[in-house]
Protein backbone atom coordinates (compact mmCIF):
# COMPACT_ATOMS: atom_id res chain seq x y z
CA UNK A 1 0.00 0.00 0.00
CA UNK A 2 1.43 3.35 -1.01
CA UNK A 3 1.43 6.20 1.44
CA UNK A 4 -1.38 8.60 0.43
CA UNK A 5 -0.28 12.11 -0.54
CA UNK A 6 -0.82 14.76 2.10
CA UNK A 7 -3.19 17.56 1.13
CA UNK A 8 -2.12 19.77 4.00
CA UNK A 9 1.30 19.83 5.55
CA UNK A 10 1.89 22.01 8.60
CA UNK A 11 5.50 22.61 9.63
CA UNK A 12 6.24 24.42 12.87
CA UNK A 13 3.13 26.61 12.70
CA UNK A 14 3.25 29.28 15.42
CA UNK A 15 0.96 32.18 16.20
CA UNK A 16 1.31 34.79 18.91
CA UNK A 17 -1.47 37.33 19.41
CA UNK A 18 -0.82 41.02 19.92
CA UNK A 19 -1.46 40.72 23.67
CA UNK A 20 1.40 38.21 23.96
CA UNK A 21 -0.72 35.06 24.18
CA UNK A 22 0.98 32.23 22.37
CA UNK A 23 -1.98 30.64 20.57
CA UNK A 24 0.13 28.08 18.75
CA UNK A 25 3.67 27.09 19.65
CA UNK A 26 4.92 25.07 16.71
CA UNK A 27 2.44 22.63 15.24
CA UNK A 28 3.53 19.89 12.85
CA UNK A 29 0.93 17.75 11.14
CA UNK A 30 0.07 16.23 7.80
CA UNK A 31 -3.46 15.52 6.68
CA UNK A 32 -4.00 13.14 3.80
CA UNK A 33 -6.15 13.91 0.82
CA UNK A 34 -9.66 12.65 1.43
CA UNK A 35 -9.03 12.18 5.13
CA UNK A 36 -11.32 13.03 8.01
CA UNK A 37 -9.34 14.40 10.93
CA UNK A 38 -10.59 15.84 14.21
CA UNK A 39 -8.78 18.39 16.30
CA UNK A 40 -9.85 17.95 19.88
CA UNK A 41 -8.75 19.98 22.86
CA UNK A 42 -9.79 22.32 25.65
CA UNK A 43 -10.86 25.87 24.87
CA UNK A 44 -7.87 28.13 24.33
CA UNK A 45 -5.65 25.43 22.82
CA UNK A 46 -5.58 27.21 19.47
CA UNK A 47 -7.57 24.68 17.49
CA UNK A 48 -9.79 27.34 15.92
CA UNK A 49 -6.72 29.47 15.21
CA UNK A 50 -5.12 26.49 13.47
CA UNK A 51 -8.25 25.98 11.37
CA UNK A 52 -8.26 29.63 10.34
CA UNK A 53 -4.61 29.41 9.38
CA UNK A 54 -5.40 26.40 7.19
CA UNK A 55 -8.26 28.38 5.62
CA UNK A 56 -5.94 31.30 4.94
CA UNK A 57 -8.04 33.67 7.03
CA UNK A 58 -5.08 34.45 9.27
CA UNK A 59 -1.37 34.12 8.60
CA UNK A 60 0.95 32.21 10.94
CA UNK A 61 3.85 34.09 12.55
CA UNK A 62 6.18 31.14 12.27
CA UNK A 63 6.33 27.95 10.23
CA UNK A 64 4.90 27.11 6.87
CA UNK A 65 1.85 25.45 5.41
CA UNK A 66 2.21 23.55 2.17
CA UNK A 67 -0.15 21.66 -0.12
CA UNK A 68 1.75 18.66 -1.56
CA UNK A 69 -1.23 17.08 -3.31
CA UNK A 70 -2.62 20.18 -4.99
CA UNK A 71 0.43 22.43 -5.08
CA UNK A 72 -1.47 25.37 -3.63
CA UNK A 73 -4.31 26.10 -1.21
CA UNK A 74 -7.50 24.96 -2.95
CA UNK A 75 -9.46 27.92 -4.31
CA UNK A 76 -12.63 26.33 -2.97
CA UNK A 77 -12.73 25.71 0.76
CA UNK A 78 -15.93 24.99 2.63
CA UNK A 79 -16.05 26.50 6.11
CA UNK A 80 -18.66 25.80 8.77
CA UNK A 81 -18.68 27.94 11.91
CA UNK A 82 -19.97 27.13 15.38
CA UNK A 83 -23.06 29.20 14.64
CA UNK A 84 -24.84 28.60 11.39
CA UNK A 85 -23.76 32.13 10.34
CA UNK A 86 -26.54 32.56 7.82
CA UNK A 87 -27.65 35.88 6.40
CA UNK A 88 -30.91 36.44 8.31
CA UNK A 89 -32.37 38.63 5.55
CA UNK A 90 -31.96 35.98 2.87
CA UNK A 91 -34.00 32.86 2.21
CA UNK A 92 -32.40 29.42 2.55
CA UNK A 93 -31.82 29.19 -1.22
CA UNK A 94 -30.12 32.58 -1.34
CA UNK A 95 -27.89 31.63 1.59
CA UNK A 96 -26.77 28.46 -0.14
CA UNK A 97 -26.35 30.29 -3.44
CA UNK A 98 -24.00 32.84 -1.82
CA UNK A 99 -20.64 31.12 -2.51
CA UNK A 100 -21.55 30.60 -6.17
CA UNK A 101 -22.86 34.15 -6.44
CA UNK A 102 -19.60 35.53 -5.07
CA UNK A 103 -17.79 33.48 -7.70
CA UNK A 104 -19.87 35.19 -10.36
CA UNK A 105 -22.07 32.25 -11.33
CA UNK A 106 -25.49 33.33 -12.60
CA UNK A 107 -28.50 32.37 -10.55
CA UNK A 108 -30.24 30.21 -13.16
CA UNK A 109 -27.04 28.27 -13.76
CA UNK A 110 -26.39 27.84 -10.05
CA UNK A 111 -29.89 26.78 -9.02
CA UNK A 112 -29.57 23.07 -9.85
CA UNK A 113 -26.43 22.93 -7.69
CA UNK A 114 -28.13 24.83 -4.88
CA UNK A 115 -31.11 22.48 -4.99
CA UNK A 116 -28.80 19.49 -5.06
CA UNK A 117 -26.85 20.73 -2.02
CA UNK A 118 -30.08 21.31 -0.11
CA UNK A 119 -31.38 17.87 -1.05
CA UNK A 120 -28.17 16.31 0.25
CA UNK A 121 -28.76 17.77 3.70
CA UNK A 122 -32.45 16.88 3.56
CA UNK A 123 -33.82 20.42 3.35
CA UNK A 124 -35.27 20.44 -0.15
CA UNK A 125 -38.71 21.58 1.05
CA UNK A 126 -37.33 24.47 3.09
CA UNK A 127 -35.63 26.36 0.30
CA UNK A 128 -37.98 29.36 0.58
CA UNK A 129 -37.84 29.63 4.36
CA UNK A 130 -36.03 32.37 6.22
CA UNK A 131 -33.35 31.27 8.70
CA UNK A 132 -35.40 32.38 11.72
CA UNK A 133 -38.11 29.91 10.75
CA UNK A 134 -35.71 26.98 11.12
CA UNK A 135 -34.52 25.06 14.18
CA UNK A 136 -30.87 25.15 15.26
CA UNK A 137 -30.15 21.81 13.62
CA UNK A 138 -31.80 22.84 10.36
CA UNK A 139 -29.84 26.09 10.27
CA UNK A 140 -26.65 24.07 10.68
CA UNK A 141 -27.72 21.88 7.76
CA UNK A 142 -28.16 24.98 5.62
CA UNK A 143 -24.68 26.05 6.68
CA UNK A 144 -23.30 22.65 5.61
CA UNK A 145 -25.18 22.83 2.30
CA UNK A 146 -23.65 26.27 1.71
CA UNK A 147 -20.16 24.90 2.47
CA UNK A 148 -20.65 21.97 0.07
CA UNK A 149 -22.39 23.78 -2.79
CA UNK A 150 -19.07 24.57 -4.50
CA UNK A 151 -18.04 20.91 -4.09
CA UNK A 152 -14.85 21.92 -2.33
CA UNK A 153 -11.94 19.49 -1.99
CA UNK A 154 -11.52 20.70 1.60
CA UNK A 155 -14.12 21.19 4.33
CA UNK A 156 -13.16 22.94 7.55
CA UNK A 157 -15.55 22.80 10.49
CA UNK A 158 -15.10 24.83 13.65
CA UNK A 159 -17.08 23.16 16.46
CA UNK A 160 -20.10 23.07 14.15
CA UNK A 161 -22.48 21.08 16.34
CA UNK A 162 -21.37 22.33 19.75
CA UNK A 163 -24.44 24.50 20.28
CA UNK A 164 -26.93 21.75 19.40
CA UNK A 165 -28.64 19.24 21.65
CA UNK A 166 -27.23 15.71 21.93
CA UNK A 167 -29.80 14.02 19.64
CA UNK A 168 -29.47 16.56 16.87
CA UNK A 169 -25.72 16.43 17.17
CA UNK A 170 -25.59 12.63 16.76
CA UNK A 171 -27.90 12.84 13.77
CA UNK A 172 -25.75 15.50 12.15
CA UNK A 173 -22.58 13.54 12.89
CA UNK A 174 -24.06 10.61 10.96
CA UNK A 175 -25.19 12.88 8.13
CA UNK A 176 -21.73 14.38 7.89
CA UNK A 177 -20.18 10.90 7.73
CA UNK A 178 -22.65 9.96 4.98
CA UNK A 179 -21.70 13.04 2.95
CA UNK A 180 -18.02 12.43 3.50
CA UNK A 181 -18.29 8.79 2.41
CA UNK A 182 -20.14 9.83 -0.73
CA UNK A 183 -17.84 12.70 -1.73
CA UNK A 184 -14.56 12.13 0.11
CA UNK A 185 -13.71 15.78 0.57
CA UNK A 186 -10.81 16.22 3.01
CA UNK A 187 -12.32 17.25 6.31
CA UNK A 188 -10.79 18.92 9.34
CA UNK A 189 -13.26 18.93 12.21
CA UNK A 190 -12.62 20.97 15.35
CA UNK A 191 -14.50 19.87 18.45
CA UNK A 192 -14.18 19.86 22.20
CA UNK A 193 -16.15 16.63 22.49
CA UNK A 194 -13.99 13.53 22.83
CA UNK A 195 -16.90 11.27 21.88
CA UNK A 196 -17.69 13.20 18.75
CA UNK A 197 -14.06 13.25 17.65
CA UNK A 198 -13.67 9.50 18.09
CA UNK A 199 -16.99 8.65 16.46
CA UNK A 200 -16.41 10.83 13.43
CA UNK A 201 -12.83 10.61 12.41
CA UNK A 202 -10.12 8.45 10.98
CA UNK A 203 -7.63 10.29 13.10
CA UNK A 204 -7.81 12.45 16.19
CA UNK A 205 -5.19 15.09 16.82
CA UNK A 206 -5.27 15.85 20.54
CA UNK A 207 -4.25 19.41 21.34
CA UNK A 208 -3.08 21.05 24.56
CA UNK A 209 -3.14 24.68 25.64
CA UNK A 210 -0.57 27.31 26.57
CA UNK A 211 1.04 27.14 24.16
CA UNK A 212 -1.26 25.37 21.70
CA UNK A 213 0.40 22.21 20.46
CA UNK A 214 -0.37 18.66 19.37
CA UNK A 215 -0.14 16.18 22.25
CA UNK A 216 -1.10 12.98 20.52
CA UNK A 217 -2.05 11.63 17.12
CA UNK A 218 -4.51 8.76 17.55
CA UNK A 219 -5.70 6.66 14.62
CA UNK A 220 -9.19 5.17 14.72
CA UNK A 221 -9.32 2.04 12.65
CA UNK A 222 -13.03 1.24 12.85
CA UNK A 223 -14.52 0.83 9.37
CA UNK A 224 -17.05 3.18 7.82
CA UNK A 225 -19.97 3.54 7.73
CA UNK A 226 -20.16 3.69 11.49
CA UNK A 227 -23.34 3.57 13.45
CA UNK A 228 -24.83 2.41 16.67
CA UNK A 229 -22.66 -0.72 16.68
CA UNK A 230 -19.51 1.36 16.72
CA UNK A 231 -20.88 3.78 19.31
CA UNK A 232 -21.57 0.85 21.61
CA UNK A 233 -18.42 -1.14 20.88
CA UNK A 234 -15.50 -1.81 23.20
CA UNK A 235 -13.10 -0.26 20.68
CA UNK A 236 -15.03 3.02 20.82
CA UNK A 237 -14.94 3.17 24.61
CA UNK A 238 -11.25 2.33 24.69
CA UNK A 239 -10.35 4.95 22.09
CA UNK A 240 -12.33 7.59 23.98
CA UNK A 241 -10.38 6.65 27.11
CA UNK A 242 -7.13 6.96 25.17
CA UNK A 243 -8.00 10.45 23.88
CA UNK A 244 -9.15 11.45 27.34
CA UNK A 245 -5.87 10.22 28.87
CA UNK A 246 -3.86 12.19 26.30
CA UNK A 247 -5.84 15.33 27.16
CA UNK A 248 -5.28 14.83 30.91
CA UNK A 249 -1.58 14.33 30.39
CA UNK A 250 -1.44 17.58 28.46
CA UNK A 251 -3.29 19.44 31.19
CA UNK A 252 -0.95 18.07 33.88
CA UNK A 253 2.20 19.43 32.25
Chain contacts with other proteins (rule: CB under 8 A): 52, 55-57, 75, 77, 79, 81, 83, 85, 87-90, 98-99, 101-103, 130-132, 150
Q: Is the CB of 131 or the CB of 208 nearer to other proteins? A: 131
For residue 106, the minimal CB distance to other proteins (Å) is 15
Q: Is the CB of 20 or the CB of 88 nearer to other proteins? A: 88
Cis peptide before 225 (omega within 30 of 0): yes
For residue 238, the minimal CB distance to other proteins (Å) is 36
For residue 229, the minimal CB distance to other proteins (Å) is 36
Q: Is the CB of 58 or the CB of 240 nearer to other proteins? A: 58
For residue 163, the minimal CB distance to other proteins (Å) is 13
Q: Is the CB of 139 or the CB of 226 nearer to other proteins? A: 139
Burial of 125 by CB count in 10 Å (0-12 exposed, 13-18 middle, 19+ buried)?
Answer: exposed
For residue 102, the minimal CB distance to other proteins (Å) is 4
Q: Is the CB of 41 or the CB of 131 nearer to other proteins? A: 131
Q: Is the CB of 58 or the CB of 222 nearer to other proteins? A: 58
For residue 213, the minimal CB distance to other proteins (Å) is 24
Residue 138, Ramachandran bin (φ over 0: left; ψ between -120 and 50: alpha; else beta):
alpha
Concatenating the DSSP letter of every residue in the chain gives: -PPPPEEEEEEEEEEE-TTS-EEEEEEEEEEETT-EEEEE--TTSSHHHHHHHHHTSS--SEEEEE-TTTSS--S-EEEE-SS----TTS-HHHHHHHHHHHTT--HHHHHHHHHHHHHHTT-GGGTT--GGGS-HHHHHHHHHHHHHTT--SEEEEESTTTTS-HHHHHHHHHHHHHHHHHH--EEEEEES-HHHHHHH-SEEEEEETTTBEEEEEEE--PPSSP-HHHHTSHHHHHHHHHHHHHHHHHHH-
For residue 49, the minimal CB distance to other proteins (Å) is 13
Q: Is the CB of 83 or the CB of 116 nearer to other proteins? A: 83
Amino acid sequence: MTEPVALIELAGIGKTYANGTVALGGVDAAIREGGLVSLVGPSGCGKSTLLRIVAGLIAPDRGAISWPASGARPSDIGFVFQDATLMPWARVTENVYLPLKLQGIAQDKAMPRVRDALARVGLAEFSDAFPRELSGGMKMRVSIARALVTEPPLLLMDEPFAALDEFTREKLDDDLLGLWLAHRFTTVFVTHSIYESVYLSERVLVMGARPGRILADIAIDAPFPRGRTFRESQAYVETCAKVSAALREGAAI
